[in-house]
Structure 1
Amino acid sequence: MPLDISEATPPGERFSLTNAVDADVGANSIKTYYLSESKYFIIDIQTGSDGSKYVDLVLNGNLDREEHAVHNLILTAVDGGVPPRSGTASIIINVLDINDNAPLFSQPVFAVNVSENSAAGTVVMTLNASDLDEGTNAQLTYSYTLYTSEKTQELFSLDPNSGEIKVKGVIDYEESQSFEMHIQAQDRGANPLSGHCKVMVFVTDLNDNYPEVTIKSLKSLVTENVSVGTLIAVVSVSDRDSGVNGEVELTLNQQQTLPFMLNRSSEGYFELLVSKPLDREIISKYDITLRVTDKGSPPLTENETITLEILDINDNAPTFPQSFYTIHVVENNVPGALLTSLSAFDPDLNENQYLVYFIMEKEIVNTSMSMLFSINPENGDLYALKTFDYERERDFLFHIEARDSGVPPLSSNVTVHIIILDQNDNTPLIVSPWRAQGSVVEEVIPRSTDKGHLVAKVIAIDADSEQNSRVTYQLLQISDASLFSLDQYNGEIRTTRMFSYRDPRQQRLVIVAKDNGEPALSATVTIKISTVEHIMPFLETTEVPLDYDVFTDLNLYLVIGLGAVSFLLLITILVIIVLKCQKPKPKAIKIPPANRNSVVSRNSVISQRSSTIADSTLISSDAYWYSLFLAETRKGKVVVRQPIIPKGAGYFVSSIPRSTGISETSDSRASTLEYSK
């Protein structure tokens, strides 16, 4: 027999039970009922008018479904027969619930940790309140109470059915380190009951904030001569994190060589100081990087860059790329032509860098350098103001100064050596055999002359130098090419065979003397050779090379001086010769044999001429020996012709002292040329 009884039923309430049935009658019918033991229920037996027995179930105490939801009772009916018989019935009593229990949390306060910056949807915790009731009386709804702040409700969500708390906003430890939630759980009974708890959410700090550098004061411009220890900047550092995450270190960027250092002041600030001398010409601007790093894991780093410009002072003198300039200028240059550009460099700035060039005055033969050369004061372009002649001036040596515009100004100078280069602008001058301009040189030789006999020697000099002064000789015209030969280097004309009776008595040769310049210049001489049957014998000579060490180490200046003096002397001799040519020819002077030994010496050169030889021949001989001296001394040696003197023959003596040079004497003139090393 099932019964549903509310737990709210008061004690004493009666519940009718189904009576047992017995087919016997009288004493053998149902006599009584028994109920199994129960502290909540008893039975009440009633006897009807007909003697039948009725039973009621009576509530004997307060029911509590949460304590005992189902009661199982056994009802036994017993008859009065002998032996008695009985029958049983099971009574199942279901206690019906009422909302008599409020929801209950396991603890009144919950503490939970959550990391800052947790992603939205992260579960913080799940609340699980309990309600001893059942059905709707046990179905709970979770919600925040009025004691929970709006900010907390914005950051965390609460599921009303499951009680799950999740992150919904951005949690920042630096803003709030903890949150307090007040939560209630309410059942859904007709008269709902609720339970309450408090949830404390503690935010765990993460190293999520970069340290910061704050510039308190800064000098962005300093001069390069600033003293060591000068304060450049004052900075402070901070980190919003806590604990080790908020501990920071400040350093300079080690990837750069910085002449700076950091010093911590007593107030906790960092001072950026100059630690080494500055040089703007090496580094004109510094990007000083301050690096601040916290001690979190992983550590976070922040950089702050300070730009410091270095101001210039005039601490650098102008410098030339070279300390000595050698400039070659070809003679006959155009006045005003640019020679070179002497640009100096000054690493300073602005007016400290602006340079002015000028020539440091120096006089040469009462002529100042500024009259020969000019320099552009702004860019150092050097110009020649006149046309130079290599044969008159060979080089110039002077200084050029570059001065900056700083205060005080700094300067430096450079040595300039101007070397005049020779140009082939002088035509060779034939000095032997000498002849008046436009005239023909006449030579007389016996027809019995042997092969290889020296007929004449052509000597030409060139006022140019080096290649331009090197003269070679060529036969331009010849009557009989088989009879004479010309040495192209020394100009000697010799016979290549003996004369025959078929050969004409007169031969005509045109010799050209050509220099080695580009283009080459030349001069010609015409020699008329007459052959006679008999002639005063000439002195046969042999060539003995005599090396003079005095000439081997001649410097350029001595050679120039010797050439100039020799040229003037030659002109003087030529003038005297021209004057002499206008006088009657004197007879040749014979020196007695007794005096020969006093004249002839180891260094004597003796030449004999017949009294019948024209005076022009004697003059030609003088020029020959003089020009021979000039030509051979250029080669570092002198060729001395030692004569073989026939007894009783007349002769002229030209002495060449070894210590002084050459002196030459004739009956009509005497000239002396001296050279000192």
Structure 2
Amino acid sequence: MTKRMGYRDWRWLALWWHNCFLLWSTIDGQTRYTIPEELKQGSVIGNLAKDLGLGLSEIFDRKLRVASEAGKQYFSVDAGKGELIVNEIIDRETVCGKRASCVLPLQVVIENPLQLHRIEVEIRDINDNSPNFITNELTLKIAESVVVGRQFSLESAEDPDVGSNALKYYTISKDECFSLKVKDLSNGRKAPELVLEKRLDREKQAVHQLLLTALDGGNPFRSGTSQITITVLDVNDNFPVFEKALYKVSIDENSPKGTFMVKLKAIDIDDVQNGEVKYSFGERTPNAVLSIFDIDSDTGEMFLKGKLDFENAATYEIDISAKDNGTPEMEGQCSVQVEVVDVNDNPPEIIFTSKPSPLREDAPSGTVVALISARDLDSGNNGKVTLQLQRGNPFNMKPSFSNNYALVTNGVLDRESFSEYNIEITATDSGSPPLTTKKTIPVSIIDVNDNSPKFTQSFYDVYLKENGLPGSILSSVSASDLDFGDNAKISYSILDSKVQGVSVSSYVYMNSDNGSIYSMHSFDYETLKVFQILVQAKDHGSPSLNSNATVHVFILDQNDNAPAVIYPSAALGSLSHQKMPRSAKAGHLVTKVTAVDADSGHNAWISYKLAEATDASLFSVNTYTGEVRTKRTVSEQDDSSQRLLIEIKDDGEPVQSSTVTVAILVEDGLQEPILNLRQKAPEPGKKSGRITLYLILSLASVSMLSLVTFVVLAVKCVRNSRSSGSCCMRLDDLDGYNNPNRNLQIQLNTDGPIKYVEVLGGDMLSQSQSFRSCLSPMSEFSDFTFVKPSSTTDFNLFSIGGAFKEMINVLDASLPDSAWTFESQQMLWYLTGFSTTSVDGDTPSESTV
């Protein structure tokens, strides 16, 4: 008892000795550690962090972990010290069986950035297993007639240890009749045989007791024993002999049950029942073999009884016994070596060493997505595995080592096209036929702000009535962003610009969340007709992206201005005093009322009406021209003082109107200057001839100039806009005007009874300069009215030059005051550049011919 305890202490001392002197080495870039088996849990194998060149802080920050290719996690890493420690007690015989070399491959995965290292841990065998016999007792029956030198096979012991710790030799207790012989078999096994050294004599000793001992080569060694009982039999001195001592059979692992394997044959030269042979498995055949194989006791034919699996056992050593029916019973033995042929019956496996994490869409080509390994339990070509990716994905498989692969990007990613990729990996072995396994890896793409907001329109047209309520909504713009999350969240704003020299933000404001634009105050068409707003849509990404759109706001005219009387000018209130002769005939032009309306279009069409009169039968007012004429000849009975109330209305909705009161004094002895001038025959004389000549030349010059001007404008209109109703030309095309941002617009309006040409100058955002010619077909004389807003602009479309100014001076000096009739004054105004009467505010000034 004391001696056995000494051996146990020695064994544990050797175990700790190996643990204290662990060896590690790096071979071809791989780190190898060597440890003995059965180390306690928590035992330190080596400093993994130091061997890999990592600092202690990197172990936690980069999430260092160990993955075992064996499927069971025998090792772990101490995150605080970076040491590789034993996670579970390792039994080398369980892990590697009888293989001479036992190496556990490990994969060290380091993330952020992703790296993979391969290390190997070699498990060295310790002598922790004793040789063991399947049965502790063995009974042999030997006839006394057996000749000296006969050999009897004994049960072989099994020792799971390898190398020097494996089974080395046998010993047997001393007996003068028997000795022990150890036979080396081809597979490395040692088979003990009992050799008869002296002829048996049943009468002297009928039973022999022997102790067979098996010893290994460990230090200290271990042993196992089997008790052998030999019974000496009489007679039947011949035993069956097999044709072969060893039968070799190869069979595919997928062979069905009942497959014939081999036929065994043994011959016994004895006669009658002593020569009849029965076949059976050896007494010490394991149950695992008995469940797979079967033998016919009469014919010696072996069949497959169960299912073979090359991956569990590649070979089988089966002992077969042939016994006769003699007395005593004689037995012959042989061995059947069954080699299982591997077939491709295991599909390859795909193992994720590192699961994929979400990937930014701007990740460069070659970015590692995941680490993948493949394995196949089959051997040879059946175990060779290749991985392939489904086509059409921007990913690729990059081989690493020992069936390890890195899944990397090899193209441009776009989350807006594919927010997630389901990457299908196909593993195929090289067997015949090949087996295939497929696995899908989901890879999510993280959005990057690479798309700017896009407006639904590049520009918007908004039509707004003037005099609207402040705070009312003008329009709403909308933009969309293909990105996701904050990268797609949009804020709207108005970019600073000027409208009539004032920031556009003083006119409108914008809701930054929904893009709605609101007015800050009401608008006046007569002050501002059109302006533009530059809006911006900006996302919340980092860095943020933006885009712009233009909103054109057109102010629509409302009839909010009443007609303003500009002639006759009432010096006192709304009363105008006029004189006429009592000798006036029917149709006599008493005066002409002229009014203008600051509105535009129909809202500016003016009509005149005689509302009240002292004598309604005496006067009439032309609806379109405002001319006040006599309806009949003035008689002596008519009052000398006449009072007319003339109402002036526009064509708007609602109608705006104004009135003017004209007081007419009918006097005796007054002449009709206008009528006389028109009806007076030209007298021969220098002054009258000069006036006529000047008038003719001036009229011809103006007509020619007007004709040339309109021809040029018409040609440019045809070139620029064939379908437009208005003709536009740049003001810088005219002499003496170099502003390239203004346009000249001439529009012919033939709607209604009033025919007029409207000339507009200026760009869309500036105060337009309006020149309007009104030609009334209803007047007795062709009237030309030139209206323009008060402006500092020095542009004068119809400036004729200094020649006509000199003509005025000559006419003014040569003609008496009485010769300047109403018509002649109007004609000269028209010819000499439209002398104007200024009106305060926005009211246009006018010259009438």
**Which bracket does the TM-score occupy, shorter chain normalised?**
0.5 to 0.7
Aligned twin of 1:297: 432
The equivalent of 1:380 in structure 2 is: 515
1:164 positional shift: 6.3
Q: After superposition, where does 1:557-636 map in structure 2 within 5 Å?
A: 557=762, 561-562=768-769, 628-630=785-787
Give the one of 270, 273, 282 matched to 1:145.
282
* TM-superposed deviation, 1:423: 3.2
Q: TM-score, normalised by structure 2?
A: 0.44
Q: Deviations over 1:625-651 (max 9, x none)?
A: 67x4349xxxx99xxxxxxxxxx9872
Give the aligned partner of residue 655 of structure 2: 521
1:408-427 deviation line (CA, Å, top 9, x unaligned): 55555444433323234445
Q: 1:240 aligns with which of 355, 374, 377?
A: 377
Separation in structure 1 between the aligned mates of residue 461 and residue 413 of structure 2, nearest angstrom: 37
- 1:373 CA displacement: 1.7
Per-residue CA distance 1:213-267 (angstroms, 9 max, x = gap): 33334562454554544444333322222232222222332132x1x43333466
Deviations 1:443-499, CA, capped at 9 Å, x for gaps? 99999869xx9999987754333455456899999xxxxxx999998899999x999
SS at match of 1:336: coil
1:498-554: CA deviation from partner (whole Å, max 9, x where unpaired)? 99xxxx999x99998553x6x5636598999x9xxx99473779x999656387544
Asked if the contact 1:442/1:527 (under 8 Å) is kept, the reply is no
- 1:172 has 2:309 as partner: yes
The question of 1:651 aligning with 2:808 is answered no
Aligned twin of 2:343: 206
Q: For residues 215 and 437 of structure 1, do their structure 2 counterparts lie closer, same or farther at Cα, with a shift above 3 Å needed? A: same
The separation in 1 between residues aligned to 2:590 and 2:326, in whole angstroms, is 161
2:259 alignment partner in structure 1: 123
What is the CA-CA distance between 1:389 and the residue it aligns to?
Answer: 1.6
**SS state at 2:786 partner:** helix
Q: 1:368 aligns with which of 487, 490, 503?
A: 503
Distance in 2 separating the partners of 1:376 and 1:281: 28
Q: Which residue of 2 aligns with 1:339?
A: 474
Partner SS, residue 289 of structure 2: helix
Contact residue 476 and residue 512 of structure 1 kept, 8 A: no
Structure 1 gap ranges (5+): 1-98, 478-483, 567-606, 609-620, 638-647, 666-670
Further displaced range: 349-358 or 290-299: 349-358
Q: Which amino acid aligns with 2:370?
A: A
Deviations 1:187-207 (A, max 9, x none): 778987777665444333222
**In structure 1, the residue corresponding to 2:291 is in which secondary structure?**
helix
Residue 591 of structure 2 contacts residue 627 of structure 2 at CA under 8 Å; is this kept in 1? yes
Alignment partners' CA distance in 1, 2:831 and 2:424: 84
Q: Distance in 2 between matches of 1:180 and 1:366?
A: 107
Contact kept in structure 2, 1:126 and 1:165, CA below 8 Å? yes
User: Taking structure 1 as reference, are residues 524 and 298 closer, same or farther at Cα in structure 2, changes over 3 Å only?
Assistant: farther
Tell me: higher relative CO, structure 1 or 2? Use CA pairs within 8 A at least 6 residues apart: 1
Conserved in 1, the CA contact under 8 Å of 2:787 and 2:846? no
Q: Which amino acid aligns with 2:531?
A: F
| Matched AA of 2:352 | I
Question: Within 5 Å, which residues of 2 pair with 1:474-513?
Answer: none
Q: Tell me by how many angstroms 1:383 deviates.
A: 1.7
- C-alpha spacing 1:167/1:663, structure 2 compared with 1 (3 Å): same
**1:427–1:462 contact (8 Å) kept in structure 2:** yes
The 1:223/1:664 distance shift into structure 2, 3 A limit, reads: closer
Q: Deviations over 1:370-413 (max 9, x none)?
A: 33222223443322111112122123334344455555555554
For residues 240 and 446 of structure 1, do their structure 2 counterparts lie closer, same or farther at Cα, with a shift above 3 Å needed?
farther
Q: Deviations over 1:554-600 (max 9, x none)?
A: 4464896545x99xxxxxxxxxxxxxxxxxxxxxxxxxxxxxxxxxx
The one-letter code matched in structure 2 to 1:521 is V
2:578 aligned with 1:421? no
Find the aligned partners of 1:467 and 1:115 in 2 and give their Cα distance: 105
**1:664 to 1:362, Cα distance in 2 relative to 1, 3 A:** closer
The 8 Å contact of residues 371 and 405 in structure 2, kept in 1 or not, is answered as yes
CA distance in 2 between counterparts of 1:461 and 1:142 reads 137
- CA offset at residue 177 of structure 1? 2.4
The partner residue of 2:357 within 205, 215, 220 is 220
Contact 1:441-1:526 at 8 Å conserved across structures: no
Equivalent residue of 1:629, what SS? strand
Q: Deviations over 1:330-356 (max 9, x none)?
A: 222222222333444555555555554
Report the secondary structure of 1:328's partner residue: strand
SS of 1:387's partner is coil
Give the distance between the partners of 1:494 and 1:247, measured in 2 at CA.
Answer: 118
Contact 1:318 1:344 in 2 (8 A): yes
| CA distance 1:340–1:163, shift in 2 (3 Å) | farther
CA distance in 2, matches of 1:242, 1:200: 20
Does the CA-based 8 Å contact 1:222-1:309 persist in structure 2?
Answer: yes
Bigger mean CA deviation after superposition, 146-155 or 552-561: 552-561
1:355 touches 1:403 (CA, 8 Å); kept in 2?
yes
Please identify, of 168-177 and 545-554, the stretch whose mean Cα deviation from structure 2 is larger. Answer: 545-554
Which residue number in structure 1 is paired with residue 667 of structure 2? none
**Matches of 2:678 and 2:305 in 1, distance apart?**
135
Match in the other structure for 2:752: none
CA contact (8 A) 1:220 1:307 kept: no
- Contact 1:395 1:419 (C-alpha < 8 Å) held by counterparts: yes
Aligned partners of 1:473 and 1:514 also within 8 Å:
no
Residue 505 of structure 2 aligns with an amino acid whose one-letter code is: S
Aligned length in residues: 494
Match of 1:263 in 2: 398
**Structure 1 residues 300 and 552: alpha-carbon distance in aligned structure 2, compared to 1, 3 A threshold:** same
**What is the CA distance between 1:310 and its match in structure 2?**
4.4
- Residues 563 and 648 in structure 2, CA contact (< 8 A), matched pair in contact too: no
From the superposition, tell whether residues 128 and 523 of structure 1 become closer, same or farther in structure 2 (CA, over 3 Å): same
Which ranges of structure 2 fall in alignment gaps of 5 or more residues? 1-235, 613-618, 665-669, 680-698, 714-743, 747-758, 773-778, 789-796, 799-817, 839-843
The letter of the residue matching 1:234 is L
- Give the distance between the partners of 1:170 and 1:487, measured in 2 at CA: 124
Structure 1 454/448 Cα, relative in aligned 2: closer, same or farther at 3 Å?
Answer: closer
Distance 1:540 1:429 in 2: 31
Superposed CA deviations along residues 604-638 of structure 1, whole A, max 9, x for unmatched, are xxx99xxxxxxxxxxxx9xx967x4349xxxx99x
**Alpha carbons of 1:416 and 1:103: their partners in 2 closer, same or farther (altered >3 Å)?**
same
Q: CA-atom RMSD, angstroms?
A: 6.3
Classify the secondary structure of the residue corresponding to 2:386. strand
Q: Deviation string for 1:157-208 (max 9, x for gaps)?
A: 4465776655443322222223344445667789877776654443332222
Letter in 1 for 2:288: K
- 1:380 aligned partner, one-letter code: G
- Is the 8 Å Cα contact of residues 430 and 523 (structure 1) preserved in structure 2? no
SS in 1 for 2:288: helix
Task: Please name the residue that 1:14 is paired with.
Answer: none
SS at structure 1 position matched to 2:531: strand
Which residue is equivalent to 1:25? none
